[in-house]
């Protein structure tokens, strides 16, 4: 199918109308028809492609743009599938059960949310991957929260709030390095600047999670139930130091800058070995555990619900959603709808505070179009000249980008991070959003900091 019409540049109104139509289709189907996001994003192509073709583009051009953009999402898709296998093999190896066991024994219900947040933050800072943090320790802490009777959305909000905040200011994280590179600043200087926001944000969030945790003490499991659950864990798994080997191997490999995909695969092999030699899993069934997920035979329903998770197949719907979403975004990019959406924002940035707000809005639009990395690249490349003209440091730009893009990306249901979280925990990012305090604190502090810096610069001048 081709078009002989001259190509037109989409207006802001036209682009906004198409994007609104997509959101109506996706969210309407999700909330009113109980349809999966992957289904609704595929059907949204019936709106996106004709709307783009109306601008003079052929179907072939749009299809090529969609396929090119889908290629960019394959790295995240592959990582998602491997994370599913990591969860199931870590469970079979006793890694997840051991973390749950010690969590139940030594973490108190009233401090759980603060501990889950801080543990996720520290692990993300150490290994530089929010996804790896969520798919390993995050899963274990989620199970502990369920054991305590804490609302799942609240637990997920605390976990990913810490995990993504850690990515903003560690040189181990790809996002920090990408942000520094696109802004033309040294990575360590960027991390130092980003830490100016991360430290107060983490401090405020820790207090909020601690205070909020007091409310859920009355709904937590009694000591007898916790003791019973710990007993069930020891009946089905060998709780020992060897069970932590898969986690330690993965952390060591990531610290040594081995790519996350290979680090997880090696960790999976380690987990398989521990599962066979320590937990007594049959060698012939270990491949099925990796592919189909772990299951607990016997024990209570609660224990089965906690540990019957993971497997490559559990992430297939998430990967399908990524593919359909990226195809839609590729069509948008082919016709220039993205640039049309952000043009009014960048044109009105006439002061440091407005420039920061514009940067944050561009970063959010970038996140809405697919990935955190794309958001950082888009915001950095579009805003760097504006920061130079305003006499602002590029370190401030890299800080403003990550302070918004990285911490907010999980809140967008069709962003790959939002999809990843939904597939991992079975909790929509929209449900967890009210409890992801750092996702709101960090961008707000960024705006406050740039306003204070602008005032101080005026006094100096």
Tokens standing for residue 133: 């943090």
Q: Show the tokens assigned to 397.
A: 């730009």
Report the C-alpha gap between 150 and 138 in whole angstroms.
15
Q: Do residues 135 and 276 share a domain?
A: yes
pLDDT tens, the chain, 461 aa long: 445 668 888 998 998 899 889 878 887 887 788 887 788 888 999 999 999 999 999 999 999 999 987 887 677 678 778 878 887 898 889 888 887 788 777 778 888 899 899 988 987 886 667 887 887 778 878 888 887 888 899 999 999 999 999 988 887 676 777 778 778 788 778 888 888 889 999 999 999 999 988 876 544 555 556 677 778 788 888 899 999 999 889 878 877 878 778 888 999 999 999 999 999 889 989 999 999 988 777 666 666 766 777 788 887 877 887 788 778 878 888 898 877 877 776 666 667 778 888 888 888 887 876 677 777 877 776 777 778 777 778 888 888 888 888 998 888 887 878 888 888 888 888 889 999 999 999 999 988 887 776 666 555 55
Residue 259 lies in a domain: yes
| Pair 296, 259 in one domain | yes
User: What span, in angstroms and rounded, lies between the C-alpha atoms of 93 and 236?
Assistant: 11
- For tokens 């502990």, the residue is 144
pLDDT at residue 48 in the model: 92
Residue 366 inside a domain? The answer is no
Residues 20 and 161 in one domain: no
Residue 239 lies in a domain: yes
Domain boundary among 295, 313, 331: 313
- Is the same domain home to 231 and 271? yes
pLDDT of residue 225: 63
Total count of domains within the chain? 2
pLDDT at res. 218: 47
DSSP-derived secondary structure letter, 285: G
Domain boundary among 269, 291, 313: 313
- Using CA atoms, how far residue 298 sits from 235, 236, 271, 281, 304, in Å, is 10, 8, 22, 15, 8
* 327 is a domain residue: no
Residues found in the chain: 461
Decide if 382 is inside a domain.
no
pLDDT at residue 299 in the model = 61
Task: Report the C-alpha gap between 377 and 291 in whole angstroms.
Answer: 34
Query: In a 10 Å sphere around its CB, with 0-12 CB exposed, 13-18 middle and 19+ buried, how is residue 1 labelled?
Result: exposed
In terms of domains, do 200 and 298 share one? yes
Does residue 177 sit in the same domain as residue 259?
A: yes
Domain final residue, candidates 284, 313, 342: 313
Alpha-carbon dihedral 18, 19, 20, 26, rounded to 10 degrees: 110
State the Cα torsion 446-451-453-454 to the nearest 10°: 140
Pair (186, 50) in one structural domain: no
pLDDT in the model for residue 28: 85
Q: Alpha helices of 187-336 — where are they, by DSSP H? A: 187-215, 223-236, 245-255, 260-277, 286-292, 301-307, 316-335
Residue 403 lies in a domain: no
Within a domain: residue 402?
no
Residue 266: its pLDDT value, please? 93
Residue 325 lies in a domain: no
Tell me, yes or no, whether 29 and 101 share the same domain: no
**Same domain for 263 and 225?**
yes
Q: Are residues 25 and 109 in the same domain?
A: no
DSSP per position, 87-137? HHHHHHHTHHHHHHHHHHHH--GGGHHHHHHHHHHHHHHHH--HHHHIIII
Per the structure, the complete domain to which residue 50 belongs is given by 12-57
Helix, strand counts (H, E) of the chain: 24, 0
Do 228 and 299 touch, CB atoms closer than 8 A? Answer: no
d(CA 112, CA 164): 19
- pTM to 2 decimal places: 0.69
79 Rama class: left (phi>0) / alpha (psi -120 to 50) / beta = alpha
Claim to verify: residue 248 and residue 145 sit in the same structural domain: yes
Q: How far is CA 223 from CA 116, 220, 230, 265, 292, in A?
A: 20, 9, 10, 38, 34
Say if CB 206 and CB 114 are below 8 A apart: yes
Q: According to the model, what pLDDT value does residue 156 have?
A: 94
DSSP state of 222: P
160 shares a domain with 51: no
């Amino acid at each position: 199918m081709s078009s002989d019409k001259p190509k037109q540049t989409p207006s802001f109104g036209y682009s906004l109308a198409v994007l609104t139509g997509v959101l109506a289709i996706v969210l309407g189907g999700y909330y009113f028809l109980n349809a999966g996001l992957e289904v609704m994003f595929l059907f949204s192509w019936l709106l996106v492609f004709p709307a783009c073709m109306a601008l003079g583009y052929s179907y072939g051009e749009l299809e090529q743009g969609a396929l090119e953009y889908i290629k960019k999402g394959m790295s995240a898709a592959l990582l998602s599938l491997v994370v599913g296998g990591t969860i199931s093999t870590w469970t079979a190896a006793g890694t997840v059960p051991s973390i749950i066991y010690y969590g139940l024994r030594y973490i108190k219900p009233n401090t759980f949310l603060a501990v889950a947040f801080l543990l996720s933050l520290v692990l993300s800072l150490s290994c530089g991957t929010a996804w790896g943090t969520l798919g390993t320790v995050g899963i274990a802490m989620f199970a502990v929260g369920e054991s305590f009777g804490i609302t799942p959305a609240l637990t997920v909000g605390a976990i990913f709030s810490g995990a993504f905040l850690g990515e903003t200011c560690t040189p181990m994280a790809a996002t920090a390095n990408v942000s520094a590179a696109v802004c033309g600043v040294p990575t360590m200087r960027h991390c130092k600047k980003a830490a100016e926001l991360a430290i107060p944000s983490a401090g405020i969030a820790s207090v909020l999670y601690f205070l909020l945790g007091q409310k859920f003490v009355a709904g937590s499991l009694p000591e007898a139930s916790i003791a019973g659950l710990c007993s069930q864990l020891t009946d089905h798994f060998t709780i020992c130091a060897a069970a932590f080997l898969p986690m330690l191997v993965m952390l060591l490999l990531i610290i040594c800058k081995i790519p996350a995909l290979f680090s997880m695969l090696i960790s999976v092999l380690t987990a398989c070995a521990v599962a066979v030699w320590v937990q007594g899993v049959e060698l012939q069934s270990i491949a099925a555990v990796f592919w189909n997920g772990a299951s607990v035979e016997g024990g209570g329903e609660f224990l089965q619900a906690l540990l019957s998770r993971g497997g490559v197949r559990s992430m297939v719907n998430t990967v399908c959603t990524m593919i359909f979403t990226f195809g839609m975004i590729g069509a948008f990019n082919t016709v220039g709808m993205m640039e049309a959406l952000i043009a009014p924002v960048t044109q009105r940035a006439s002061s440091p505070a407005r420039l920061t707000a514009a940067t944050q809005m561009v970063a959010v639009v970038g996140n809405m179009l697919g990935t955190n990395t794309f958001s950082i690249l888009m915001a950095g490349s579009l805003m760097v000249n504006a920061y130079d003209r305003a006499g602002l440091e590029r370190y401030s730009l890299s800080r403003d980008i990550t302070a918004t893009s990285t911490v907010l990306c999980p809140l967008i249901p069709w962003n790959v991070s939002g999809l990843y979280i939904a597939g991992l925990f079975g909790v929509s990012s929209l449900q967890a959003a009210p409890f992801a305090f750092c996702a709101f604190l960090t961008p707000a502090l960024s705006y406050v900091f740039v306003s204070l810096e602008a005032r101080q610069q005026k006094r100096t001048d």
